[in-house]
Amino acid sequence: MDFPDELKYSKEHIWVRVENGSAVIGITDFAQEEMGTISGVELPDEGDEVEQDDSIGSIEAQKTVASIYAPFSGTVRSVNHEALDNPELLNDDPYDGAWLVEISLDDPEELKNLLSANDYAEYIENRD
């Protein structure tokens, strides 16, 4: 499984890439593998306000329907329409082509709750 070092991770299996006062988020390689074939994605609208830990959408897959939780508070700046139209991208390319949303970063302190790649890998190994 791949967990790029430059990203941060939540225990809800979301990755975060911070860029210029906002952050792009997506699901981790672990999450897409656990869910199986992804067949649908529901995301918030551009301009929506989101609060840390709130559900902001869902992913429908072969094995489950999973909520997407905001790893921090902010305003949705953009949505990946390609992932909405082609949800299988989440299985094929979870870290680049299949990002989900870009959210403004209202409170950088909220990022302190996220894990490094090594910490996330350890969390995955010890989750049972």
Residue 2 maps to a domain:
no
pTM above 0.85, yes or no: yes
Q: Could you read off the pLDDT of 38-96 as tens digits, one per residue? A: 999 999 999 999 999 999 999 999 878 999 999 999 999 999 999 999 999 999 989 98
6 assigned to some structural domain: no
CATH number for position 42: 2.40.50.100
Contact 11, 70 (CB under 8 A): no
> Which structural domain, as residue segments, surrounds residue 52?
11-121
Residue 18 domain-assigned (yes or no): yes
- The reply to whether 94 falls in a domain is yes
**Which amino acid belongs to residue 53?**
D
The total of structural domains in the chain comes to: 1
Q: What is the CA radius of gyration of the chain?
A: 13
Residue at 59 is within a domain: yes
Q: Which of 121, 20, 118, 32 is nearest to 68 (CA)?
A: 32
Q: Which residues pair with 102 in a beta bridge?
A: 24, 78
